[in-house]
Amino acid sequence: MQIKCNVLDRQFQMYQSEYEQAALRVLRSGWYVLGREVEQFEQEFAAFAGRRYCVGLNSGLDALIMSVRALEIGKGDEVIVQANTYIATVLGITENDAVPVFVEPDEYYNMNADKIEQAITDRTKAVMVTHLYGQASNMAPIVEIARKYRLAVIEDCAQSHGACFDGKMTGTFGISGCFSFYPTKNLGAFGDAGAVVTDDGEFAEKIRMMRNYGSRIKYHNEIEGVNSRLDEMQAALLRVKLAHLRELNDERKMLAKRYDEGITNPRIMLPKLREGAESIYHQYVVRCAGRNALQEMLEQRGIQTQIHYPIPPHMAKCYVHLGHKKGEYPIAESYADQVLSLPIYTGMTLAEQDYVIEQINSWDADENG
């Protein structure tokens, strides 16, 4: 059996006629960038996320970069970020010439709230929290610390569309919830797309101006903007998928539960869910010593897996100039050596999943190094 990490055509086939209708509607409309579909999607996604405003953008990275910029965080400022996040979170900071200050993750792969205070200096302006792999972070203490030190909270929700903590949606804890709709995300478009959600009208307006060359009125450029517009095609297709997102997330939760119950190999550490946290299982990430051998064995048996992420940002080549050393963030570094993301996707069959479970359970780490 051949099993890929991501199988994107199955989610298309599931609602094929709805997607095709939406695409035709856009093609025939004669209007392709920032129009009615984008407005409708923004309203629908704001309602889904439980926020007053949504601004559709080109990508999740843009949502992060523009949020930091709109908060006027720049040169000399510091932003706290978890050491095991995706590079894009950190790029959102460094693109603005601000300095990322890393803190170690907790056992749920999210930011360890107990380690934030010791990372705060008089230059700290914000905490950027990633709800990694789809699990909502421990937001109550983070919000409290941010309030105490007057820091902005920016949430990277690129992997957590619809995940709640204590019933409160990720993306509603800070001033800005940053979403990516890259095709593999739980709410994925058919190309690049992203959005910011917020309750702050002024902040929303600034992002809205910024995405379109810094203008509210055409050719009246009030701030130095960028081109980060969401197009009508992606918005129309996202509207279709958003209407089904709850059931799509439920399917992943069901698959995650089957992995939880099915994987019995004692060498494999299964993902844990914090009390009060929900995960939409953007990734199902296990951990073990001998991870590379496990990955190789699975590959030989036709099962593709991924590593999120093999190099923590502080060790990335692009950040050598930040001067970090190996060993500085041992937990993030050990996760990078041990995590493995198993196949989980919309339309994964139980037979496919059972095959993955079987192969993992048959793995003898001693024998295979």
Ligand X SMILES: *Cc1c(COP(=O)(O)O)cnc(C)c1O
Q: Which residues bind ligand X (CB under 6 A)?
A: 59-61, 85-86, 88-89, 130, 156, 158-159, 180, 182, 192, 194
In angstroms, what is the minimal distance from the CB of 65 to ligand X?
Answer: 9
Q: How far is the CB of 57 from ligand X (least distance, A)?
A: 9
- Please identify, using beta-carbon distances, which residue of 95 and 296 lies nearer to ligand X: 95
Question: Shortest Cβ distance from residue 158 to ligand X (Å)?
Answer: 3
> Strands 99-103 and 220-221, how do they pair?
unpaired
Q: Specify which residues 279 forms β-bridges with.
A: 135
Q: Which two structure tokens, joined as six digits, stand for 14? A: 């599931």
Rounded Cα distance between 159 and 324, Å, is 27
Which CB atom, from 134 or from 225, has the smaller least distance to ligand X?
Answer: 134
Query: How near is the Cβ of 58 to ligand X at its closest, in Å?
Result: 8
- What DSSP string runs through 310-344? SS-GGGSGGGGGG---TTSSHHHHHHHHHEEEEP-
Phi, psi of 129 (to 5 degrees): -105, 130
Cβ closer to ligand X: 42 or 192? 192
Burial of 228 (0-12, 13-18, 19+ CB in 10 A): buried
Residue 129: CB atoms within 10 A of its CB come to: 30
Residue nearest to ligand X (CB): 60
What per-residue string of b and e applies to 175-188 under the rule 16 or more CB within 10 Å gives b?
A: bbbbbbbbeebbbb
In the bound complex, what is the minimum distance in angstroms from residue 182's beta carbon to ligand X? 4
State in angstroms the smallest separation of the CB of 355 from ligand X.
27
Task: Supply the minimum distance, in Å, between the C-beta of residue 178 and ligand X.
Answer: 7
CB of 308 to ligand X, least distance (A): 8
In the bound state with ligand X, the residue whose beta carbon lies nearer, of 60 and 174, is 60
Residue (93 or 360) nearer to ligand X, CB? 93
- Specify burial of residue 307 (Cβ count, 10 A radius: 0-12, 13-18, 19+): middle
Strands 194-198, 176-180: pairing kind: antiparallel
Nearer to ligand X, 88 or 230 (CB): 88
Which CB, 82 or 359, lies closer to ligand X? 82
Q: Where are the beta strands (DSSP E) in 120-278?
A: 124-130, 152-156, 164-165, 168-169, 176-180, 194-198, 215-217, 220-221
Nearer of residues 201 and 310 to ligand X, judged by Cβ: 310
**178 within 8 A of 64, measured Cβ to Cβ:** yes
Cross-strand partners of 103: 82
